Chain A
């Protein structure tokens, strides 16, 4: 890890503890990062994650609610946009419709004043601000248009240009001012796929040729991986990971990054010992270490890191459920017990065949699990209770449909008056850490029972993991001290069980 001082030495721009609120809603939270001179940095994240807001703060259109923005070590947080040596390429280009191409590109140059020193009548040296001479402006515009491959378009009106051409003019209008940093806010979003791919490569080449620092915003992970030197992955206004495209892809910090970048299989597992991880009912050798014994972890395996072999005892065995040709490879789905695993391979097995899956140690990426909530898949029973994990609990099924109620026979009446039989409906079940209590009364029929396999002191409470006989793990928080290996039953109050409907098959994404 570098210290802060070392970072700012080579950094052209640095954000220190920057936060932004709109009407009390935090959009960007405690952001810290720095960008090196000449780097191509991409903010990547789903829409609404705060990436555009961050860019607008660097441009000066939004002022941070807290924190500092440093440009070459100088605080520019509250400088207006016209005072910043930064130019923006806007999402919808924002080319001035009342000006032609030349006038658009020359807009910034015509506003520029150059400091010139001269000696006045009394022999004093004075500073005068002069406009750029017309020939200089014309020459610079010509060069900028040359860079974006639109020489000779000077006289054209903006309305006669195609989307791709407007895009190029927008870039020319920015780079002609020779900014220290070029900000690009999803500049390729409005172009069709083929044009976008071309422009990606062109932008990358332009970046190399000009040597200007590029800060790029996109929600397209492929675009980010293709173009960037460094990617900053954001979600909910918080930086999830900063790294090179390779690092982000191969070593995701958490399940969000793994899921957002590329295809991935994400499992819940435990680390019985260093360099060994157990998931899907099998133990695999891996390269990760430093976790506590039996600590729950998230495991990410990329589809291309799984090899299909003949079934064997030491492999994960399953049945092929689907094979789809994707051009360069096949996308294969294999059902292994409760788990559906995605595999990419250049050769395809028969659908319905039983195969063994081998994963090399370097294909397994283990990440610390951040526990917020216990998640299960459950089924509604005939008595309107829910079965999940290793037990059956009373629950409030009316929360599945807003405004609904139960009639005397136990059918659900929706707000529109439809009568539904929920028996055997699959639901997502969420139970908070603090909503499960342990009891040593083991007579209660139906509810889950298990042994405490781990307890960690977390300053305010102990965090327990209870494993049932069927290897279902429950994570819970309790202020009282229990002993490891105690057998307990788990009590969950009816109102604390949150149910949501599973999305219908086929439109999962």
Chain B
């Protein structure tokens, strides 16, 4: 008798299987379904009809697209997310900087003050904010106010996502860099601009991508805070799907996906150099 069977060899590669399955079922297959719907008609035949519809929605010719409802919605979404991101950055950077630099022993408690609101259900918080706007009389007062309220809501919702990555990069900056800058003749302010700011770049990029991209599509905020009067791209897709227009909706979703891809690529999100990987990785997720 000889044993020919060897024991099943457990290799580390096997550990990747659960993640691989997850990736396939929840990322890859849904993505393929979107692509399928975007380029087929109701009978399942290949068509570019929805590409044409997307671009020619507002009228004939190439320039028709720029008058279209879809284009306006994209522009509105871009405006809201740009403003929200900038505001978040201007609030979050000083907050993160002050917490990181303060001499308190329990810095994490201070940080927690900004993170704790995330533990409360987000719809509940947005509703509470709405009640506040109603009380102040700015709720649904005008188009401008609707815009402002949406941006305030986005900033309120996404602020912790900006503070955390910036805080983690600032706290990691070796203080000898600052001492070296001071030693070489920089004033405190110059040392900040020349050393702290560039060295916290990774945190800023990480924070920006974590605020900018979700605030393009988070239509819960705009719906609740503006009596559905401010429509962003996420809402547009939702509207198509609700109206059983799966093909139109899928194509817009695809465009949005390409858009995000582009932004991530532009901000260096795909770069694998050690400097950014370390800080991005530990930032939040």
Contact = CB atoms under 8 A, between A and B. Distances in A.
Interface of A: 59-61, 80-82, 86-88, 90-92, 94-98, 107-108, 111-112, 159, 173-174, 177
Interface in B182-200: 182-187, 190, 194-195, 198-199
Contact of B199 (A60, A86, A98): A98
Nearest to B182: A81
B185 A98 contact: no
Contact of B180 (A60, A90, A98): A90
A94 B184 contact: no
A98 B183 contact: no
Interface stretch (B50-58, B74-82, B171-179): B171-179
A61 B188 CA distance: 12
B179 A177 contact: no
Contact of A107 (B176, B179, B181): B181
Contacts of A159: 274
Which of B174, B177, B183, B199 is packed against the most chain A CB atoms within 10 Å? B183
Contacts of B187: 80, 82
Contact of B184 (A60, A61, A97, A108): A108
A111 B179 contact: no
Nearest to A177: B184
B275 interface: yes
Contacts of B274: 159
Given A81-B179, A94-B179, A87 B199 contact: no
Contact of A87 (B176, B184, B186, B275): B184
A95 B184 CA distance: 12
A108 B181 CA distance: 8
B80 to A, nearest CB: 32
7 contacts: A82-B182, A82-B184, A87-B183, A98-B198, A107-B186, A112-B185, A174-B184
Given A94-B176, A111-B190, A81 B199 contact: no
Interface of B: 174, 176-177, 179-187, 190, 194-195, 198-199, 201, 274-275
Given A61-B179, A90-B179, A94-B177, A107 B199 contact: no
Contacts of B199: 96-98
Nearest to A86: B183
Contacts of A86: 183
Interface residue SS majority, chain B: helix
A88 B183 contact: yes
Give the top 10 A-B pairs by smallest Cβ distance, nearest first.
A108-B184, A94-B176, A94-B180, A81-B182, A111-B185, A98-B198, A82-B185, A88-B183, A81-B183, A107-B184
Contacts of B180: 88, 90, 94-96, 173
A284 to B, nearest CB: 52
B185 A177 contact: yes
A90 B182 contact: no
Contacts of A92: 174, 176
Nearest to B199: A98
Nearest to A185: B176
Contacts of B184: 82, 87, 107-108, 111, 173-174, 177
A174 B181 CA distance: 11
A107 B182 contact: no
Contacts of B177: 94, 96
A186 to B, nearest CB: 13
A298 to B, nearest CB: 40
Contacts of A174: 184
Given A107-B194, A173-B184, A97 B176 contact: no
Contacts of A87: 183-184
A111 B186 contact: yes
Nearest to A98: B198
A107 B181 CA distance: 8
A385 B180 CA distance: 59
A94 B184 CA distance: 12
Contacts of B275: 97
Contacts of A177: 184-185
A82 B195 contact: no
A222 B98 CA distance: 44
A61 B175 CA distance: 11
A59 B186 contact: no
A92 B176 CA distance: 8
Contacts of B179: 59, 61, 81, 88, 90, 94
Contacts of B182: 60-61, 80-82
A108 B185 contact: yes
A346 B269 CA distance: 66
Nearest to B201: A98
A99 to B, nearest CB: 8
Contacts of A98: 198-199, 201
A1 B161 CA distance: 66
A60 B199 CA distance: 23
A54 to B, nearest CB: 16
Given A59-B179, A60-B183, A80-B182, 10 more contacts: A60-B182, A61-B182, A61-B183, A81-B182, A82-B187, A90-B176, A94-B176, A98-B201, A108-B184, A111-B186
Which of B184, B194, B199 is packed against the most chain A CB atoms within 10 Å? B184
